[in-house]
Structure 1
Amino acid sequence: MNILYISVKKSWRGVTSWVVKTALALNKRGHHLYLLSHPKSKINKSLPLDIKLIEKRLGPSYNPVMIGYLVYFIITYKIDLIVTNIDKEVAIGGIAARLTGIPNIRRVGREDDFNNRFRSKWCHKLLVDSCIVPCQTLIRNARIRAPWLNPAQFKVIYNGRDISEFSPEIINLQRLRMGVNPGIKILGINSHLHRKKHVEHLIQAFARIAPDFKNWVLVIVGTGPEERNLRNLAIESRLTERIIFFGFVENPMLICSTFDIAFSVSKIEGFPNTIVEYMAMGRPVIATDVGGVREIIRDGINGFVVPFGDQRALVDRMVRLMTHEEMRQQFSREAIKTVRESFTEKQMIDDLEKYLKGIVKHR
């Protein structure tokens, strides 16, 4: 297949990670992958030379110049289908796909990608052939936000990661690079630092128990618009020496391997890549009960699930895991088992490849 991804977000987020992961894997299986991305996107440095990269700005919605360029590109490179995500990609890519008679597949990461605005509704209904989503819960929640959606249009393909192991030497070296001394344990989160991620809840919870757990630190991996506020909160909590802001990393699996307990405390999610990454590394996880989290975490068996915003529950689960190494080890074993049985990268790519081939065959 000849596949064109359109992904113009500049920052690295869940769908961006999915685009890179699936493009690389499909390329290795002999398909021809093309990616149109923003010239300043972090995605551009992650692709091998045999994936053709087109660095262009889409411009305004329904930009006729870009629509014309995409029509030319689709015809020239005999593109079989395109994959889009946000409204602007759907509009410009979708019109070009309609003009050339190929399918437009929308990869949706979260329920709030949909709304009831007339333009978004019109765009999706006329220009999208089918949607790939990472969990069943997203379909239900999306239809609450946008009742006009057709559930038959959705295909669930779970995010997957391969089980990974790093040597103790590499893990210890990474911990030293993070400024964590030997013998210190890590509470860790890898997240885009946006207000919807509510990383401040984790800082507040840590502040409540930090005096009683001197050998634990909190490591926050990621960047975003809330970073300044989060740093100020660390200062106000008098925890600047025990809260480490490590910034953006290109290899999240290595970072995850250093965590003793991993967290996701968002208010809204689809099916968090970070949770799959945590569990593929055998990290015990505490996550808020949002999106499709319960489709991978079985509360009390391979992780803990807490209500969003419930500080008492969050602190309680933190303390239970911090004080019970046997429980951390149990969650670790069960996490790896869960990923190995249901959430491997191979399963994700097998399902995606089969689905896309079927669409191309029956178009």
Structure 2
Amino acid sequence: MKKIRLLHIVQCAGGVDCYLRMLLAHMDRHRYVQIILCSKDYSENDYRELVDEFIQVDMCNSLSFKKDVKAVSQIRKLIKNCHPDIIYCHSSKAGGIGRIANIGTGIPLVYNPHGWAFNMKTGWLKSFVYLWMERLLSPLVTRYIIISNYEKMSAVQHRVAQAHKMKVIFNGIDMDAVDKMSGTVTRASLNIPENAYLIGMVGRISRQKAPDTFIRMAALLKDALPHAYFMMVGDGDQRDEMERLIKDCGLEGRVIITGWVNNPLAYSGLFDQAMLLSRWEGFGLVLVEYMKLGKPIIATEVDAISDLITDHENGLLVEVDHAEQAADAVKEIMNDVSLRNKLISNGMMRANAFFDVQRVAREHDALFSKIRNLYNR
């Protein structure tokens, strides 16, 4: 059978980059010609063994009429040159540019927003603009791939698309990679005592991930748990602000910020407890990694997190921006061994049962095959 020519259009890096690399690594190279058309934020070296063609264009993250029109024009020409059977757009910016560039070509287009931009707490005006853009561009989508039930429900409620047009494919992780990465970083290399009780979070140091709530939680625990240390694995636009907050709270030496690292799993493998205190979350893939690593989890009860975490079954759920609840949850897990063991056991079972990236690849393959057959390309 002729290979399916699949053109990926991507703009933002970060989580989408990780998602795409995992997906490509597990899709059948004998069935696909994989082409990536991406922004300058992507590295060709990362995709050398994963794709057949790597093409970069200038796509900016912010809205810019002049730059966006130029990007649409370039991408439209590239679409015609690449002759894809299916176009797969990832995230809202690439989704907008890719859909407009594809107008009139007759090529089926799949769009994965990786979390709706209008659900992000970025102010009512931005949310309003993002929502109307999604509504206006919705007729240009053949099928949506949605990463959680929450995101699907939200799209229906906001009249973005009808339910039958959306396919929910939960994110997944490379289970073997998690096992291989564990143990490659030590506490000694980070100047953390071996007997410390380490509470950590992995994520951007940005408003979404609520690093300020994490630090305020640490401040509430520093005297009650003198052997507790706190780690933030990542970097971001709020790092300077968070470093000032750490100093103001008297937590210097007790809170470690790693900055950007290539192997965050190796750091989260050191945690005694793992956290995700996001203010909004399209999925929260790091929670699956925590579960696979056997870490008891504390997370906020917001958006798609409830698709992954059931309170007091495979994690504890707390309110957004509630440092006191998070601190109480830390103590509850520390003091209740049976609860801690239950959370760990159930989490590992759930990760293995539902969130393997091989399942993600199979579900993508089934959808793309169906679309190709429908369009007789």
CA contact (8 A) 1:12 1:43 kept: no
2:213 to 168, 187, 201: 201
Q: Secondary structure at the match of 2:282?
A: coil
Alpha-carbon contact 1:67-1:95 (below 8 Å) kept: yes
Aligned equivalents of 2:135, 2:170: Cα separation in 1: 27
Counterpart for residue 127 of structure 1: 140
Identical positions, percent = 20
Deviations, residues 258-317 of structure 1 (Å, cap 9, x unaligned): 111111101111111111111121211110001221222121121111121233321211
| 1:170-319 correspondence to structure 2 within 5 Å | 171=183, 173-319=185-331
> 1:138 maps to what in 2?
151
Match of 1:90 among 72, 95, 103: 95
Which structure 2 residue ranges, 5 or more long, are not aligned?
A: 120-126
Distance 1:49 1:162 in 2: 17
Aligned to 2:34: 33
Equivalent in the alignment of 1:112: 117
Structure 1 match to 2:14: 12
Distance in 2 between residues matched to 1:30 and 1:249, nearest whole Å: 34
State the secondary structure of the residue aligned to 2:54.
strand
Aligned to 2:244, what secondary structure does the other structure show?
Answer: helix
- C-alpha distance 46-322 of structure 1, shift in aligned 2 (>3 A): farther
- How far off is 1:326 after superposition? 4.1
- Give the secondary-structure state (helix, strand or coil) at the position aligned to 1:225: coil
* Cα distance change of structure 1 residues 50 and 241 upon mapping to structure 2, 3 Å threshold: closer
C-alpha contact (below 8 Å) 1:90/1:128 kept by paired residues: no
CA shift, 1:123, in A, is 4.3
Per-residue deviation at 1:122?
5.5
Secondary structure, aligned partner of 2:104: helix
**In 2 relative to 1, CA 38–215 (structure 1 residues): closer, same or farther, beyond 3 Å?**
same
- 1:49-74 residue CA offsets vs partner (Å, 9 max, x unmatched): 45122122136558555444434433
- Find the counterpart in structure 1 of residue 124 from structure 2: none
1:3 correspondence with 2:6: yes
Instruction: Work out whether 1:76 is the aligned partner of 2:89.
Output: no
In angstroms, what is the RMSD of aligned CA positions?
2.5
In 1, Cα distance between equivalents of 2:141 and 2:184: 47
The alpha-carbon deviation at position 102 of structure 1 amounts to 1.0
Question: Secondary structure, in 3 states, of the residue corresponding to 1:91?
Answer: helix
Are the counterparts in 2 of residues 5 and 35 from structure 1 also a CA contact under 8 Å? yes
In structure 1, the residue corresponding to 2:257 is in which secondary structure?
A: strand
Would you say the 8 A contact 1:90–1:124 is kept in 2? Answer: no
After the TM superposition, list the runs of 4 or more consecutive aligned residues in structure 1 that deviate by more than 4 angstroms.
Answer: 27-30, 42-45, 59-65, 113-116, 164-168
- How far, CA to CA, are the matches of 1:89 and 1:354 in structure 2? 23
Alpha-carbon separation, structure 2, partners of 1:55 and 1:334: 43
Indicate the larger mover: 322-331 or 299-308: 322-331
1:329 to 1:29, Cα distance in 2 relative to 1, 3 A: farther
Aligned partners of 1:242 and 1:362: how far apart in 2? 58
| CA spacing shift, 1:227–1:129, aligned 2, 3 Å | same
Separation in 1 of the partners of 2:310 and 2:163? 26
TM-score, structure 2 length as denominator? Answer: 0.86
The residue identity in structure 2 corresponding to 1:201 is T
| Stretch deviating more after TM superposition (77-86 or 339-348) | 77-86
Q: How many Å separate the matches in 2 of 1:48 and 1:12? A: 18
C-alpha spacing 1:154/1:167, structure 2 compared with 1 (3 Å): closer
Give the structure 2 partner of residue 345 of structure 1: 357
Q: Is the 8 A contact 1:71 1:99 kept in 2?
A: no
Q: Report which stretch shifted further, 183-192 or 126-135.
A: 126-135
- Structure 1 residue 232 displacement after superposition: 0.9
1:94 partner amino acid: R
CA distance, structure 1, for counterparts of residue 107 and residue 65 of structure 2: 20
Contact 2:24 2:50 in 1 (8 A): no
Matched ranges for 1:322-333 at <5 A: 322-333=334-345
